Structure formats: structure tokens, C-alpha cells
Amino acid sequence: MADQPAKSLRLLFKGLCLILALALAAVAWRVIHNLRGRDFDPARSALQRQRVEVSRDPSELPNIVIVLADDLGHGDLSGPGVGLIRTPQLDRLADDGVSLSNFCAAAPVCTPSRTALLTGRYPIRTHLTLPLYPTGHPAGLALNAIGRYPYGVTGIPEDELLLPELLSRRGYRTALVGKWHLGDQVHHLPNDRGFGFYYGALYSNDVTPFAVYRNDKIEIPAPAPQEFLTRDYTREAVRFIQEQGKSPFFLLLAHTMVHEPLHASPEFRGRSGAGLYGDALEEIDWSVGEILRTLREQGLEEKTLLVFTSDNGPWWQGSSGGLRGRKNNLMEGGFRVPFLARWPGVLPAGAVRDGLAVNFDLFTTCLLAAGIPLPDDRIIDGRDLMPLLQGKAASSQDTFYYYFGHELGAVRSGDWKYHRRAMSDNGGYPIFRHGPFLFHLDRDPTESYSLIESEPERASRLSRMLDEWEAGIAANRRGWHR
């Protein structure tokens, strides 16, 4: 009997050793899986950047300004509640330029949408398919632990080519003012990825710690007050434009608002008829006016392409314009966003186009406007918006694939949209999967009436398109031209 405790201890020790061995094996498998699956190839990007020729006459290059709101709804500028919020500067922008009524973000959440805008590619190709969190943040650690960050990627890959990197090679001075949300480690920061100047926050304003940076240094430590963010971003954006002289520039003004928690400066708080959300949007409208005023004072209006849009649809507040769904959802309300573009002498005034376009089209549009050839070593999903904006083409994209995270959930071809079985916006059953559905978006823009029973052949064709697209992604996740 005296040997029984010793035997039990030996069994316990063996069991612990087995558990430890299994844990180490799982970690090793995960590391190997991640390294193999990432398919990183930074050398190819260096070669692509070298292909960009410095302009012999930079003063002839157009300036590019993209103003990006956060979580602004498709209907916030033109929906049924528009009278509650006064946006005279954005109204003027629409009167002076082109509006797109079928413009989609590439994702219904921030990080992948911003990645698409800057790379010209579907987020699934970049591994950034969900919002990122600061290094060490519990939410980020949890998402990584359960495999929600594909291959453990938590920063914009170094082999992706970003719009400011290519423009700076051409001779542009580049700046990001506002939200980044593409990583917080060395090699993944704005100044590392083509932006010569950076002022703003690395993450969304509901994530702690929330600090404001000037380039790679913290200027306003956490917790940074947020009521003056729009004012401060505008000040830095205006100063950047004023300092450029005759040098061409690319400015991405990425507002923190109207992301929750909402803030507005004392001058705008209480001014709108739509609560704090409307106040914050009216301050963004003021900011756009300051950009327009500065361009006019500097004599740069006719040399500048100015774009206003949003990274995805509305979250807790805001208007989807009657579209079904919101942020974090595969329905149109999560993807469809406002789009206004102004370029006097190049784009017509007061035009509205209803052709399909996606925010990764801005990558291609800006490069071609600057005389830069598209990278030829990878698939670029973006197409030139200019033919659509100028009324020379019916649409920019014929087909669009809808992702939530790394899951492919729907496809649009022309006016037809097919949903696989996926989480819908049904509040009573949020965790259950619904569908498949087939909607005609021109006749039924609210995705209310599925035609899958009356159009079975069309549904089957679109379902096959999803399968074929998914197989192509699986065969070449990064979209490299081998």
C-alpha cells in the first residue's frame, strides 16, 4: 500500500507531461501553419516600387485629397432624416462634382475596408479581415487565439503596396491625418508605409489606450480628450496643404467621427436636430469646408481631386438610407456608403451615377491619375473610376463579393445579389444562419423579398460564382502573379 501514493504521483506527472507535450505540439503546429500560410514576399514589393518613375515635372501632377468619415451611413447625406443635419459644404461638394449612389466599402468594418482602399485589393488577399486592436489588448489576443486573425497577421503586410508608397515614389508629399488602424508595431506604422507626415490615432476611439500621435511620437497621451479631434485634424490637414507650395500632395484625412463614442466641440454640440451624432457630422461638414476654402485660397481647386466617403455603414446611430443592415452585416446597409468627388474641369458638376463601384477602385484611380502603372506582380481588384465619374461607363465593377471577416457570404452581379446561408440582421435570431436569398437590388433595394424560388437558375449561377471565386482564393490567397 505504501507504493500507491508514489504510483499516483508518477501517473500525475506523466499526465502533466503529456498535456504539456500536446500543448507544445499545438503551438508548434500553429506557428508552422501561420508562417506557411502568410505567403509573405517583401522583395517583390521593393521591385514594384522601383518601377515607379519620378515625375520630370511634379508641378503638373494632380493633388489628391480623400476625406474618410468613420461609420457614416449611406443615408446620412441624402436619406429621410437629412433635414435634421445641415451639411452645406457636403451639399456644395455634390453640386460641384459627382455623387455615386451604389458605392460600396470593401468590408462592413474598419480595418479591412481601409486596407482595401490603400492596396486596391480585397481584404481577404491581405489577411486583414477584422478590426485590429493594440498589441497586448485582450480582445486582440482572444481573436488571435481562436484563429480569427488569418495566420496571426495583426498589421498591414510589408509586401502589400500602399497608395502613399507609390505616390511618394512619383514625387508626391504624403500625409495621413486621423485614424490609421492598420497596426502599431515597427514596419506597420503610417510613417513606415509611405506617409511622410502623420497626425492622429492608431485605433478607433472606443479602444484604450487612446492617444494622439505626431509621426511616431505621442503628442497627446491617453486618455486623449476627443471633443476637439475633428478641429485638430482639420488644423493639421489645412496646414499640410498650405505648406506644399507647388509640390503635388496626397492627403488622407481620416476622421475619427462619427464612430462611437460620439464627440463634438462646444461650437457644434447641440446644433443639429439629430443629437450628438448630427453634431459630429455637422462638424465634419465644417471640416470639408475648411479643406475647400484652403484649396481655393492656394489656387489649387482645378489641380485637386477631392473625394469624400466612409469606411463602412452606420453603427449604433446614423442612417442607412432605408437599406437593410448596418455595420458588421452582409446586407447593403453595412457596405453602401456615401461617395462624392470633385475635380473642376475634369469631372462634371451635379452628376449622379448609379453604377456599382467599390472603395478599392480609389487605389487604381489615384495611381492612373498620377501617371503610375498598376503593379503587375499581383491581382489588383480596383478599377479606374474616371470613366464612371465622367459618364463614359455604366459602372466600375460588374461583380462584387461580400465578406464578413474571412467568410465569403454574398455576391452581386449587376442588380442581382445572392446570399449564402449566413447570419442576417434578424434581431430575434442573431446567432442563427438564414437564407440562401436572392434579391434584385434595383427593384428591391431594401433586400426584403427573396426571389430564389422564382429564379432558381439565376440563384444557382450566382452560387457557382461564389464557389469558383472561393476556389480561386484558396489556390492563390495572396493573389500573386507567380
Overall average pLDDT of the 399-421 stretch:
96
Separation between Cα atoms, residue 444 and residue 428, nearest integer Å: 23
Name which of 442, 434, 433, 438 is nearest 452 in CA terms.
438
> Has residue 80 got a pLDDT over 70?
no
Separation between Cα atoms, residue 445 and residue 385, nearest integer Å: 23
Q: Where are the alpha helices (DSSP H) in 267-322?
A: 275-297
Separation between Cα atoms, residue 299 and residue 233, nearest integer Å: 22
Q: What are phi and psi of 168, to 5 degrees?
A: -65, -35
Q: Where are the domains of the chain?
A: 49-398, 407-475
Cβ within 8 Å of residue 45, ≥6 positions away: 158, 159, 160, 161
Would you state the pLDDT for residue 423?
74
Q: Is residue 455 within 8 Å of 443, Cβ to Cβ?
A: no
Would you state the pLDDT for residue 26?
63
Give residue-wise pLDDT tens across range 185-233: 999 999 999 999 999 999 999 999 999 999 999 999 999 999 999 999 9
Burial class from Cβ neighbours inside 10 Å (0-12, 13-18, 19+) for residue 415 reads middle
Would you state the pLDDT for residue 385?
98
Q: What is the CB neighbour count within 10 angstroms for residue 210?
A: 21
For the record, the C-alpha cell of 58 comes out as 511634379
> Has residue 2 got a pLDDT over 60?
no
Top CATH class, 407-475: alpha beta
CATH number of 49-398: 3.40.720.10
Show which residues are catalytic.
Answer: 110, 181
Q: Where are the alpha helices (DSSP H) in 87-180?
A: 88-96, 110-119, 138-145, 163-170
Give residue-wise pLDDT tens across range 303-349: 999 999 999 999 999 999 999 999 999 999 999 999 999 999 999 99
> Has residue 428 got a pLDDT over 70?
no
Overall average pLDDT of the 36-63 stretch:
93
pTM, 2 dp: 0.95
> Has residue 4 got a pLDDT over 80?
no
Give residue-wise pLDDT tens across range 238-268: 999 999 998 999 999 999 999 999 999 999 9
> Has residue 429 got a pLDDT over 80?
no
SS3 content of the chain, % helix, strand, coil (to 5): 35, 15, 50
The CA dihedral of 149, 154, 158, 164, to the nearest 10 degrees, is 110
Name which of 211, 168, 171, 210 is nearest 193 in CA terms.
168
Separation between Cα atoms, residue 297 and residue 280, nearest integer Å: 26
* Grid-cell match 467599390, residue found: 358
Q: What are phi and psi of 244, to 5 degrees?
A: -85, -20
In what helix (H) or strand (E) does residue 304 lie, and over which residues does it extend? strand 304-310
* Grid-cell match 437558375, residue found: 457
